[in-house]
Amino acid sequence: MIQEKKKVLLVFGTRPEAIKMAPLIRAFNDNATLFDKRICVTGQHKEMLDQVLDFFKITPDYNLQIMEPKQTLTSITAKILLEFQKVIDDFCPDYVFVHGDTTTSMVAGLTSFYSNIKLCHVEAGLRTFDKKHPFPEEVNRRITGVLADYHFAPTALSKQNLVNEKVKEEDILVTGNTVIDALLHGLELLETYQTKDFTQLKDRIGTEKEVILVTGHRRENHGEGFVNICRALKLIALNHPDKLVVYPVHLNPNVLTPVTEMLAGVENILLIEPLSYPLFLWLMNRAKVILTDSGGIQEEAPSLGKPVLVMRTTTERPEAVASGTVKLVGTDVELLVAEVEKLLSDAAYYQAASSKKNPYGDGTAAKAIVDFIKKI
Ligand code: UD1
Ligand code: UDP
């Protein structure tokens, strides 16, 4: 008897989701005899999403193309809700996969639930227990957790958060984070990677100066937070003319505008456009210290042994803090400057913050997820 293929639909919309879903797409491709797989991108991001799709050679079956300049949470929510329903009606999937904590994930999850389709949540169970930090992601992932039928938790701690919320143990699988699968794959491809933009980047960074790498985009840092971050970066750059502060600036105008206004023209600060994933991996490896409010970078940096100062007051990634490479510092100017000074001047302190132990797994998360779905 010929067994019918399970119909799976993977949905994502932003840069980090695309990076973290890419390994799962590969794993489903490896099992094409068992699964009829389709990919839907909401297009919550555009250029930053396209960079990842290009690198991982992902061709979406559906693109909702919802991004607009200065989009609001409400406008993204309303557009995805209506447009994603059409995809569900067209494909009639057995399982919908969403990732993490974006508005794309939460809304695709809600639409799937309304349509009685099994929802699978990748990177489930992360919590800060503070609904305003990160905003709106903490609430997005809690809602997605309520909607989901199967929960793929990266660590034992994220599983425990779900168990505490009365999710049944048999519906949770601890997998590690697919970001490690993506990282290992990316590093492998990088070994033979030769593109014009890669050569240009290497030329612009040079080999002489140590690099302080910066990224930032969180909504709760918009306004005063970014003003403080920029003040701190300026001081750090002035104190260290022998270092190069490199900042691939997020395309959100709430970030791009203040950062450009405050930092363009500072001699040893290099403001650049968002980098494609392999180039960013290369730059993380090249960096001495990383300053960020990103979630994914907190997970990647321990693999590369790079100290990360997190410009936030809370983190849903306490495992990375426990690993020693990640430290929460917020956006206070003096504190940020002092923490960077400490890492640059105290070799023993730096050493302790750069061990290469990663609590987020060994790069087999996607396979574990697909194996689970094969069995249900
Ligand atoms: C979104 C996610 C956040 C995730 C982040 C990753 C939500 C609510 N937010 O935040 O969880 O951590 O992505 O980067 O889901 N833009 C472009 N081109 C792009 C991408 C963005 O121009 O390729 C600009 C647009 O003007 C857009 C704005 O950035 O309106 C904001 O994008 P949005 O997805 O709403 O918020 P992010 O801050 O990117
Ligand atoms: N990243 C990238 N290019 C950049 C900056 C970041 O490819 O210029 C990658 C980074 O390696 C990580 C992810 O994007 O995997 C993080 O995305 P972001 O900080 O936008 O979102 P978050 O992880 O905070 O949701």
Top-tier CATH class for 6-177+361-375: alpha beta
Per-residue tens of pLDDT for the chain, all 376 residues? 667 999 999 999 999 999 999 999 999 999 999 999 999 999 999 999 999 999 999 999 999 999 999 899 999 999 999 999 999 999 999 999 999 999 999 999 999 999 999 999 999 999 999 999 999 999 999 999 999 999 999 999 999 999 999 999 999 999 999 999 999 999 999 999 999 999 999 999 999 999 999 999 999 999 999 999 999 999 999 999 999 999 999 999 999 999 999 999 999 999 999 999 999 999 999 999 999 999 999 999 999 999 999 999 999 999 999 999 999 999 999 999 999 999 999 999 999 999 888 999 999 999 999 999 999 9
SS3 for the chain, per residue? CCCCCEEEEEEECCHHHHHHHHHHHHHHHCCCCCEEEEEEECCCCCHHHHHHHHHCCCCCCEECCCCCCCCCHHHHHHHHHHHHHHHHHHHCCCEEEEECCCHHHHHHHHHHHHCCCEEEEECCCCCCCCCCCCCCHHHHHHHHHHHCCEEEECCHHHHHHHHHCCCCHHHEEECCCHHHHHHHHHHHHHCCCCCHHHHHHHHHHCCCCEEEEECCCCHHHCCHHHHHHHHHHHHHHHHCCCEEEEEECCCCHHHHHHHHHHHCCCCCEEEECCCCHHHHHHHHHHEEEEEECCCHHHHHHHHHCCCEEECCCCCCCHHHHHHCCEEECCCCHHHHHHHHHHHHHCHHHHHHCCCCCCCCCCCCHHHHHHHHHHHC
User: Considering only CA atoms, which residue is closest to atom 7 of ligand 2?
Assistant: 277
What gap in Å lies between CA 368 and CA 24, rounded to an integer? 10
Q: How far is the CA of 274 from the centre of ligand 1 (A)?
A: 12
Ligand 1 atom nearest 274 alpha carbon: 23
Probe residue for ligand 1, chosen from 14, 138, 140 as the CB with the greatest number of ligand atoms within 8 Å: 14
Q: How far is the CA of 252 from the centre of ligand 1 (A)?
A: 6
Active site residue 133: no
Active site residue 217: yes
What gap in Å lies between CA 112 and CA 93, rounded to an integer? 9
Q: How far is the CA of 72 from the centre of ligand 1 (A)?
A: 10
Closest ligand to 123 CA? 2
Q: How far is the CA of 168 from the centre of ligand 2 (A)?
A: 32
What are the pocket residues of ligand 2 if the criterion is a CB atom closer than 6 Å to any ligand atom? Answer: 15-16, 19, 215, 217, 248, 274-275, 277, 280, 294-297, 300
Residue 317 has, within 13 A of its CA and on its CB side, a CA count of 31
Q: Which of 17, 83, 137, 300 is catalytic?
A: 137
C-alpha distances in Å from residue 89, one per residue of 83, 164, 252, 366: 10, 35, 32, 27
Domain with CATH 3.40.50.2000 in the chain: 6-177+361-375, 194-353
Probe residue for ligand 2, chosen from 215, 219, 303, 316 as the CB with the greatest number of ligand atoms within 8 Å: 215
Q: Is 194-353 assigned to CATH 3.40.190.10?
A: no
Active site residue 165: no
Q: How far is the CA of 342 from the centre of ligand 1 (A)?
A: 32
Q: In terms of Cα–Cα distance, which of 93, 124, 130 is closest to 106? A: 124
pTM: 0.98
